Amino acid sequence: MVYHKMRIDGASLVFSNITLVQCTQSCLAHAHCLSVDYHSGDGSCWFHDYSTSCGPLEFAEQVTHFERVACVESGEPFFLCKKESMQGYSI
């Protein structure tokens, strides 16, 4: 899922001054990255892990939140599709 002008609190800054494509591809390449916030104003890329990926969405003007997992009612991440590098699951 993609959420424009939204972010989730608690992410870790991983990269600065990179493109959207670089940010999302980096997240997909790291098993611990379950979702990512990309800030288009400064090119910052923020990874979410298991502890933060299903937090509440907050408005953020220049940020787009990308989920590689679906969050279910329990608030626990649920992986969408199979992928070997993610111990069987990913997008």
Find the domain containing 28 and state its range. Answer: 2-86
Check which CATH number belongs to the domain holding 35 and give it: 3.50.4
| Residue 91 falls inside a structural domain | no
Q: What is the pLDDT of residue 75?
A: 60
Both tokens assigned to 72: 């279910």
pTM for the structure as a whole: 0.78
* pLDDT higher than threshold 70 for residue 25: yes
Which residues does residue 59 pair with via DSSP β-bridges, in sequence order?
6
Report the range of poorest mean pLDDT among 22-26, 55-59, 63-67, 68-72: 68-72
Largest CA distance in the chain: 35
Mean pLDDT of the chain: 83
Domain count, the chain: 1
Q: What is the pLDDT of residue 85?
A: 31
Burial class (CB in 10 A: 0-12, 13-18, 19+), 84: exposed
